[in-house]
Each structure stands twice: as C-alpha cells, then as structure tokens.
Homo-oligomer: A and B are copies of this chain.
C-alpha cells in the first residue's frame, strides 16, 4: 500500500520528506482551504514554522496547491485536482466560497468562472472569483 502524498511528491519530482508528507496529509484530510496558520497549528510541534512556509511555497510552484485570495490577510491554500496537477500548466477556473458563518473556504469545483470582457488594451492571465455568504452546512 502506497501513500497518496508520496505519489504526489514523486509526480512533481520533489524529494519525499516527512514534513512534506505530513503537510500533504493535512491537505488531503481537510475539507476546506487552509491558511498557513491552520497548518502551523496542526504541526508546529513537529516542524519548524520556516519549513512550513518553504513547503507551501514549493507546493505552489509545483502546482500541487493553489492559493485563494482574501480580504482578511489570510491567504488560503487548497489542493489542486488531478487534472490541474498533471497538466503541468496550472489553471484553476473554479469559484471559491467563503462562509461568513463557519469561516471555511471551499473550492466549488463544479462552478466555473464565467467569462468577462475586459476593456480594450487589457490582457487576462489569471482570474479569481471568491464568493462570500452562507454555505450549505450553515444555512
């Protein structure tokens, strides 16, 4: 039986270390996006804060996770889905939802970001859509 986190690391040509596996496991177990702080809370006794910063950075660069903008100075991260990781070129085009009640941020994988027409002269490279409101668990 192989470890799912280990597979992800190998597929991304990253060396397999205990901290990386642990952080991936945290993401795999989470049903919502995680801020640096959330991860630190879960494993600060095991791993150094700096390691967590560097690991998240590495995962971002490899496209293992993507980040979700916010207005609260708490950038959150979520695992990319298979297609996104394997395609090499990273692109999320799903909507993110943050619940004002429970505070959780989730990927709405089934909701695509609709097209927008930018004014003349603007070129789009990336697009992000974050909706705030009440999630189905809190309604």
Interface residues of A (CB under 8 A from B): 67-73, 75, 95, 97, 100, 108, 110-111, 113-136, 139
Contact = CB atoms under 8 A, between A and B. Distances in A.
Contacts of A113: 116, 129
Given A71-B68, A118-B111, A130 B131 contact: no
A70 B59 CA distance: 19
Contact of A119 (B68, B110, B129): B110
Contact of A133 (B67, B68, B125): B125
Contact of A129 (B97, B110, B116, B134): B116
Contacts of A122: 97, 108, 131, 133-136, 139
B121 A132 contact: no
Contact of A116 (B73, B114, B132): B114
User: Across chains A and B, which 5 residue pairs bring their CB atoms closest together, nearest first?
Assistant: A121-B136, A69-B69, A114-B114, A126-B132, A125-B133
Contacts of A110: 119
B97 A118 contact: yes
A109 to B, nearest CB: 10
